[in-house]
Amino acid sequence: MTAAQLELTGITKQYPGVLANDHIDLAIASGEVHALLGENGAGKSTLVKIIYGVVRADEGEILWNGEPVRITSPSQARSLGIGMVFQHFNLFETLTVAENISLGIDEDHDLKQLTSEIEEISTKYGLPINPHQHVHALSVGERQRVEIIRCLVQDPKVLIMDEPTSVLTPQEVEKLFETLRRLSSEGCSILYISHKLDEIQALCDRATVLRHGKVTATCSPKQETPKSLAEMMIGSELPVCKRIAQKRDSEVRLVVRDLSIPSPDPHGTDLRNINVTVHRGEVLGIAGVAGNGQKEFMAALNGELMDSVTGRIELNGAELSKVGPAERRTKGLAFVPEERLGRGAVPDMSLANNALLTGYLNGMLNNGFIDFDRVRAYATEIRERFDVRSAGIDAEARSLSGGNLQKFIMGREIMMDPQLLVLGHPTWGVDVGAATTIHQEIVDLAAKGTSVVVASEDLDELFEICDSIVVIAEGRLSPVKRTSETNVEEVGLWMSGQFEADEGEVGHAA
């Protein structure tokens, strides 16, 4: 191994109540692709924020080419030669690609010269982009390219990529990997943060595994199995979700006909002519890259988006498109939104009050007065049945971890005994253990006859729990396929919008 480009020793960061990083050692060699692996909350983000100068460590030392350095700001990190592509993009929608990149450069520079530089990098590394295009017109994959080029124009020695593939189609992921391999062959080190094991095996030379803020293992991922990597990450054996093969049920539960909605957000996605049918006990997965209309579709199913909606939504034959969320609930619809804090739950309210939020139909009201005994009993039951770890039912929703809060919200909705359960990214930001529990709940619920519609960006998840899969791209829905009759490649291709809308076939699951 050559001398480390970047080396961390004993990095420690204490947040109120959490030791985010506990004496972490990490060394990245020049030209190495190094994975930082860990569950959500393991301390990955804190560590890279320390490297990039966003957060300062309480203890520990950073060595750059063997020399100790103090990184106090992102601009200092950049001048050293550290670039970072964040999970959430920092781009101005109304500016062009070149202008956006120009804003990220600290030194004086000429925009024209920069433009030609962008074009040069774009061809050299296989990152096609037009520097004169406005960012709002770009797809998510293209925006990521802008972020990467923004780092590359500064000629970095270390490039940090924070969960870069969550917004990409499988094909785009492959392209990104080519770019990253090319960079590494030229001597640029890459710190690659992810919890997706197959990607890490495909791309990375070495991996540092974090758990609860500590380094638990350093390994060569190519010599490990996904199972052994997962066990290093979660510290125990990986639980498996058991699924019983379902008979097809012909009873139609949900019918969406010609649903079109102009998005209320100027940069949002309009839904166009959505047609889909879901049967009793069927789990339908909606695959797609974020921002292709999943959010709007979920909101439309729940009745939060009702203005200027055209088309029909029927549940058990009852027309729902003209009534709001409260009435849809009485008809058997339940919904777990993607945003847990602030939408699925009120952050500053207790779990008991959050049980009341949508659970009120389960006999918690008495002439408009709240029956607090019933509310507390309901919350207690959710907590026990769904293994929600919290300091009792009076704990504020904000004090729960993502996985526990998700289990609570799922539990609240499942205990409504719904006809149709709609789920937005149910395991996003949830640790592996809780994710398996959640998957098992979904599968069990469907076995009892509830229909489930689940949107997710994680294809593995959808293939694991769904009976059928449909892709949403640019506000349109692909044909529905039985999970057993399709594969990741086909779905991936559809995610980029390449499917023929054959009107006769579209949207029929059975």
Partner 1 sequence: MLLRLEPRQFTSKRMQYASPLIAAVLTLIAGVILFSALGTDPVVALHTFFVRPLTSLYGVGEWALKATPLLLCAIGLSVGFRGNVWNIGAEGQLTMGAVCGSGVALAFWGDEGPWLLPLMLFVGVLGGMAWGAIPSMLKNRFNANEILTSLMLSYVAIQILGYLVHGPWRDPEGFNFPQTRIFGDDGILPVLLEGTRLHLGAVLAVICTIIVWIFMSRTFQGFKVSVAGQAPAAAAYAGYSRKKVILLSFLVSGGLAGLAGIVEIAGTINQLQPIISPGYGFAAIIVAFLGRLHPLGIFFASLLMSLMYLGGEQLQIHLNLPLAVTGVFQGLLLFFVLGSDVLVRYRIRLISQPKEA
328 binds partner 1 (CB under 8 A): yes
Stretch that binds partner 1, among 117-125, 297-305, 381-389, 480-488 (CB under 8 A): 297-305
Taking the least distance from each CB to partner 1, the nearer of 155 and 348 is 348
SS3 (DSSP) at 357: helix
Among 66, 317, 368, 504, binds partner 1 (CB under 8 A): 368
Report the nearest approach of partner 1 to the CB of residue 290 (Å).
18
Among 78, 195, 329, 439, binds partner 1 (CB under 8 A): 329
Stretch that binds partner 1, among 82-90, 95-103, 194-202, 362-370 (CB under 8 A): 362-370
**Sheet bearing 59-64, strands edge to edge:** 18-29, 4-15, 59-64, 67-69
Residues in the interface with partner 1 (CB under 8 A) total 37
Segment (H or E) for 4: strand 4-15
What phi and psi, each to the nearest 5 degrees, are found at residue 408?
-65, -45
By CB under 8 A, what part of segment 58-77 binds partner 1? Answer: 68-70
Among 208, 358, 362, 486, binds partner 1 (CB under 8 A): 358
- How far, in whole angstroms, is CA 242 from its chain's centroid? 23
Among 108, 250, 317, 369, binds partner 1 (CB under 8 A): 369
Among 1, 16, 88, 503, binds partner 1 (CB under 8 A): 16
304 binds partner 1 (CB under 8 A): yes
C-alpha to C-alpha distance for 130 and 139, rounded to whole angstroms: 12
By CB under 8 A, what part of segment 239-278 binds partner 1? Answer: none
326 binds partner 1 (CB under 8 A): yes
17 binds partner 1 (CB under 8 A): yes
182 binds partner 1 (CB under 8 A): no
Handedness of CA 120, 122, 125, 126 (dihedral sign): negative
Taking the least distance from each CB to partner 1, the nearer of 19 and 365 is 365
Taking the least distance from each CB to partner 1, the nearer of 150 and 374 is 374
Report the nearest approach of partner 1 to the CB of residue 454 (Å).
17
- How far, in whole angstroms, is CA 159 from its chain's centroid? 22
C-alpha to C-alpha distance for 342 and 501, rounded to whole angstroms: 37
Stretch that binds partner 1, among 116-124, 154-162, 324-332, 430-438 (CB under 8 A): 324-332
- How far, in whole angstroms, is CA 28 from its chain's centroid? 27
308 binds partner 1 (CB under 8 A): no
User: Of 296, 295, 285, 302, whose CA–CA distance to 494 is shortest?
Assistant: 285
356 binds partner 1 (CB under 8 A): yes
C-alpha to C-alpha distance for 438 and 127, rounded to whole angstroms: 37
Report the nearest approach of partner 1 to the CB of residue 370 (Å).
6
Token pair belonging to 156: 């970095």
Per-residue three-class SS string for 174-193: HHHHHHHHHHHHCCCEEEEE
Q: How many CA atoms lie within 13 A of 286 on its CB side?
A: 29
By CB under 8 A, what part of segment 443-472 binds partner 1? Answer: none
C-alpha to C-alpha distance for 297 and 343, rounded to whole angstroms: 16
Taking the least distance from each CB to partner 1, the nearer of 24 and 301 is 301
349 binds partner 1 (CB under 8 A): yes
Long-range contacts of 246-250 (CB under 8 A, 24+ apart): 246/281, 246/282, 246/446, 246/447, 246/467, 248/279, 248/510, 249/279, 249/280, 249/281, 249/282, 249/449, 250/279, 250/510
Among 370, 447, 488, 510, binds partner 1 (CB under 8 A): 370
Helices vs strands, H then E, count in the chain: 16, 23
280 binds partner 1 (CB under 8 A): no
394 binds partner 1 (CB under 8 A): no
343 binds partner 1 (CB under 8 A): yes
Stretch that binds partner 1, among 195-203, 232-240, 302-310, 459-467 (CB under 8 A): 302-310
User: Of 50, 256, 81, whose CA–CA distance to 156 is shortest?
Assistant: 81
Stretch that binds partner 1, among 104-112, 215-223, 280-288, 347-355 (CB under 8 A): 347-355
353 binds partner 1 (CB under 8 A): yes
C-alpha to C-alpha distance for 94 and 324, rounded to whole angstroms: 34
Among 38, 41, 303, 492, binds partner 1 (CB under 8 A): 303
Neighbours of 326 (CB within 10 A): 11
392 binds partner 1 (CB under 8 A): no
Token pair belonging to 345: 């739950």
Return residues touching partner 1 (CB under 8 A): 16-17, 56, 68-70, 302-304, 324-329, 335, 337, 339, 342-349, 353, 356-358, 360, 365, 368-370, 396, 399
